[in-house]
Structure 1
Amino acid sequence: MAFLQGPSLKQAEVIKQELGEGPGDLERGVRDLQNMLAATPYLPEPETVDKHLLELFVRGCRMDLDRARSKLEAFCIARKRHRDLYEYISLNEPPLNDVCKFCDIATLPKLTDEGLRITVFIIKPGYPESSADVTAAVRATLLLSDARMKDETLITGDVFIYEVSKVRGSLVARVAAAAGAIRRGIQLAQAAYPQRLKRIHVVGAPTFLASSLQLMRNCVNEKIKRRYYLHAKVEELFEHFPARVIPEEWGGEEESIEALVKKWRCRIDESRDFLRNLNEMGASTANASVPDTDIYGTVGAFRKLEID
């Protein structure tokens, strides 16, 4: 069985219609990106870039090749300019193994009925205070985003669920101190990754976390702000998602979060060569003659791309 399950044949046709993908469009899009890579000295040679990765960019941008080129370029340049967020490629080894005592992060294997892929981020009960490293959590989230691209299938977009009921008040100061890393992580997710962010669900947020949630909310564009859901308890998720995709701890039919997290940590380690290759895509961009304002809306911050 595939690590990430794809859509049924019928569902795939519906997703392709939503993406605007007609016969031959995917192949033409991949060739276009390969031509861009070949024509741009500071980007990797096309033969060194996995074709499946290019397909994700074409589909993630709904066949908009201008947008796909911009995102792919931003993806490569980000590996160099934000190297500190990408330098670690294991959740089983230091330093990111420690943040796993603070939170669980996993992408769920089944798609929703609409073809959405869900990633869960869960604050663990009784976490050691020393493990609550917010910047490390950003790194771990980006690492999972990188690793899942090896296995990702045809999808309509991404959903993130944050279960934060076990958080302690001391985290507020840690979030404020790591505000720069949080902004960069969210802006990178929007501007440099092929996945289309569709919704964010936050479960069990205590009132003292309001400023931290507002910081995250301010980093997404207006469409996502309108698709930002707050829930008092996990049972409310069943109003939005079928039981078959929800983990068993939350009353669903999917494998346990514990089992899924273990699988992802192993999968990330199995994907080291793939992850190293992604990081090497930014190796030549130090010499890029592209000003920040071409890729960033303001100096040092990715522009907020339109999200469908």
Structure 2
Amino acid sequence: MYLETMTEERIINTLKENGMTAVELKSIILILKEWLQQQHHLPQYMSEQELQYFLWGSKCSLEKSKQKLDAYFTMRYLIPEFFSNRDPCTEKMVLHRRTVHLFPLPRLTADGYRVFYSGLHPSASNFCHLTHCRSLVNLTDYCVSNDSITNGTYIIIDGKNITFKLLKQFPTSQFLKASSYVTEVLPLRLKGIFFINTPSVFDYITAIFFPFLSQKIRERIHQFTDHTELYKFIDKKILPQEFGGEEASIEELNDVWQKNIESFKEWLMNEGSLQPDESKRPEKSKSKYSDLFGVEGSFRKIQID
């Protein structure tokens, strides 16, 4: 599927806002590449495009990019259950992606933000929490490897078919691991999470999970009873047909992304399965994320920039 890229003018303007030129950005990418080559405990397949994705998502901060790159690989070691059995072509994974709609919208917002949509098919009896987490990391890995740089990320979570029963079956520890990975490790520059069609379920989420989130994240979470409230943040035309937009239907967009992820199988089973070699990790580069999942049920506050 085509994913819109930011215009050259917007990229230049964003660089100016960060006090940087395109030449300086290229120079920092090369420095980051050299740094990664010296980290013998980390996998070494990253392209310059992927490194740029991390650098841009870290507001062009070299040090923050290093931290996120280290964390990106370290999570495969700390939460292996998310990164094992991730073959997107297995019957279980295919069935799950037909049960859960999870994909990025093709076009960016006026501010250059990528929008991700997540929702359940009306017949969601086959929903599996762990399979959902694996599908999530498959999608985000695809974007890290194939998407262009953006100015930020919006996430739409449609609660239309989410039930209390389903939420109560989702282990809190698993939810927090997935939340930490998306909000703290990935270079997404999260700008907003929009819950729609979730009046009662949202109250449950607030009561159970909000205490684990930082104040900044809580301020970026919004509950909308009607999808038209999305228009305050997202251009109507780039939304799916069900939300009054000009894009294809949710079902059609999801089907396209199912094929995209299946075509990404070789990467997921090879590069995507590489873990850091912790025996080679220098003591001074001890991952600050190791305490996220060291003790079951013990999590640091999630932070975002």
On whether the aligned pair clears a TM of 0.5, the verdict is yes
Q: Which amino acid aligns with 1:231?
A: F
In structure 2, C-alpha distance between the alignment counterparts of 1:255 and 1:139, rounded to whole Å: 25
In structure 1, C-alpha distance between the alignment counterparts of 2:66 and 2:299, rounded to whole Å: 15
User: What corresponds to 2:243 in structure 1?
Assistant: 250
Q: Which amino acid aligns with 2:8?
A: L
* Superposed CA offset, 1:107-157 (max 9, x none): 1110000111000001221322xx122222222112111112222112111
User: What corresponds to 1:295 in structure 2?
Assistant: 289
User: What corresponds to 1:210 in structure 2?
Assistant: 203
List gaps (5 residues or longer) in structure 2. none
Shift of 1:91: 4.1
User: What corresponds to 1:157 in structure 2?
Assistant: 152
Aligned positions of 1:7-46 closer than 5 A: 7-45=6-44
Shift of 1:32: 2.1
List gaps (5 residues or longer) in structure 1. none
Residue 174 of structure 1, aligned match among 169, 173, 188 = 169
Cα distance, 1:9–1:295 mapped onto 2, change above 3 Å = same
Larger mean CA deviation between 163-172 and 247-256 belongs to: 163-172
User: What corresponds to 1:132 in structure 2?
Assistant: 127
Q: Is the 8 A contact 2:78 2:293 kept in 1?
A: no
In structure 1, C-alpha distance between the alignment counterparts of 2:264 and 2:61, rounded to whole Å: 29
Q: Is the 8 A contact 1:15 1:154 kept in 2?
A: no
Q: Percent identity?
A: 20
In structure 1, C-alpha distance between the alignment counterparts of 2:230 and 2:110, rounded to whole Å: 14
Q: Is the 8 A contact 1:172 1:209 kept in 2?
A: no
Q: Is the 8 A contact 1:89 1:143 kept in 2?
A: yes
Q: Which amino acid aligns with 1:224?
A: I
In structure 2, C-alpha distance between the alignment counterparts of 1:259 and 1:170, rounded to whole Å: 28
Cα distance, 1:172–1:293 mapped onto 2, change above 3 Å = same
Whether 2:105 is the aligned partner of 1:108: answer: yes
Question: What SS class does the counterpart of residue 122 from structure 1 fall into?
Answer: strand
Shift of 1:41: 2.2
> Paired residues, what number?
301
Residue 277 of structure 2, aligned match among 284, 287, 295 = 284
Residue 183 of structure 1, aligned match among 156, 159, 176 = 176
Report the aligned-residue RMSD. Answer: 2.4
Larger mean CA deviation between 3-12 and 111-120 belongs to: 3-12
Cα distance, 1:254–1:298 mapped onto 2, change above 3 Å = closer
Larger mean CA deviation between 288-297 and 100-109 belongs to: 288-297
- TM-score, structure 1 as length reference: 0.88
In structure 2, C-alpha distance between the alignment counterparts of 1:298 and 1:260, rounded to whole Å: 34
Shift of 1:16: 2.9
Cα distance, 1:27–1:242 mapped onto 2, change above 3 Å = same
User: What corresponds to 1:234 in structure 2?
Assistant: 227
Larger mean CA deviation between 64-73 and 265-274 belongs to: 265-274
